[in-house]
Amino acid sequence: MPELGTTLREARTAAGLTQAQLAELIGVSRKTINTVENGVFTPSTTLALKLARALKTSVEELFFLP
């Protein structure tokens, strides 16, 4: 069971972005976005804030404790 739940995939698709586009926006690799979306990798606070800013939402909306 993942330690952190995420709605990143839903938020990204709602924003009309591909993984590659979101990765480029925040300066990480596509596989970083992919692993965060799949719950394989837990992002740092900094990366979570960058993701939230890029998707015009809040960290609490993107990540939650299951």
Partner 1 sequence: MTDDIEKLSRRRRIVLAGYGILFLVFQGVVFRSLDAPVALWRAVDWAKAAGFVGWSGTLIFVLATGGLLFRGSPAARAAMNDELTIANRKAGYRAGYWAVLASTAICFVLVQFEATTVSEALRVLFAIGVATPAIRFAALERRQGA
The residues in 37-66 that bind partner 1, with binding defined as CB under 8 A, are: 40-41, 43-44, 47
> Is residue 2 at the binding interface for partner 1, with CB under 8 A as the rule?
no
> Is residue 16 at the binding interface for partner 1, with CB under 8 A as the rule?
no
> Token pair for residue 20?
């590659």
For 39: left if phi > 0, alpha if psi spans -120 to 50, otherwise beta; the answer is left
The residues in 23-42 that bind partner 1, with binding defined as CB under 8 A, are: 23-24, 27-32, 34-35, 40-41
Total Cβ atoms within 10 A of residue 19: 19
Residue recorded with tokens 């709602």: 14
Which residues of the chain form contacts with partner 1 (CB under 8 A)?
Answer: 20, 23-24, 27-32, 34-35, 40-41, 43-44, 47
